[in-house]
Amino acid sequence: MTSHEITYLVIGGLAGGFINGLAGFGTSLFALGFFLTVIPPVEAVAITVSISVISGLQGLWIVRHSVTRNPRRLMRFLLPALLGIPIGVASLKQIDVSVLKYLIAFFLILYGGFFTLRRNLPKIERPTPLVDMIVGFFAGIFGGAASLSGALPTMWCAMRAWPKYETRAVLQPFNVIVLASTAAMLAWDGAYHAETLFQLCVAMPAAVVAAQFGIFIFHKLNDEFFRRLLIAICLASGTLLFMRELL
């Protein structure tokens, strides 16, 4: 492995780990571009998914009490997502994944741009179990088809009037479980061979350290700023996704 490859692996690990520690999602959108520079796509996705899960476990620990206080809310998102993942994987042969990514990028940019410019954010306080289930289901499909499971739940949760720990108590375990399922499917397909595991060992320490720094900053944010941060990350994620597909 060359120093050039090591540099991109470490930078990708730092970027992906930090954003996961800060917001509870976004690892693939911020890290995958660096990995794809030096690694074939399947292996790059396999490393990114693993980093997402390990970094996410650190973030999951800090919201564990919020998760146990309201497990039904999480299940409304998660159970439909688990049904959607195999549909997304199966659809890979029927759809153009690049077109799907452009579509997701468009909505992320539209959503993030619109709400970033608004002075007052919507605060949906009433229970919305049906919408939660629909969001979770389509997030599972997007996760299985394009490893983008976090986009829809993040956009929806940012409009809810929840404290930041409750918001993260949905996003963090949701992404960890969905992406762990994706990692298991990739492992079954043989994506984690010796070279991939070595590359993962290079990127993972940087991701773990960066995630701790992101978690440290998360603790300092108030609830309103965290909601706006999620929306800003949606805008940045959509822009990055669009540019990556374009280039």
Domain count, the chain: 1
Of 110, 124, 107, the C-alpha closest to 159 is 124
Residue 91 banded pLDDT, cuts 50, 70, 90: confident
70 is in which domain, residue-wise?
Answer: 3-246
So what's the pLDDT on residue 93?
65
The two structure tokens encoding residue 165: 């720990």
pLDDT per position as a tens digit, 229-238:
888 888 888 8
pTM of the model: 0.84
103 pLDDT above the threshold of 70: yes
From the CB of residue 152, how many other CB atoms can be counted at a distance below 10 Å?
A: 24
CA distance 174 to 24: 10
From the CB of residue 219, how many other CB atoms can be counted at a distance below 10 Å?
A: 9
Residue 135 banded pLDDT, cuts 50, 70, 90: very high
Average pLDDT, integer, range 9-15: 93
Q: Are 182 and 144 in contact (CB under 8 A)?
A: yes
Tell me the residue type at 181: S
pLDDT per position as a tens digit, 193-220:
899 999 999 999 999 999 999 999 999 9
Average pLDDT, integer, range 46-57: 90
Q: Are 149 and 174 in contact (CB under 8 A)?
A: yes
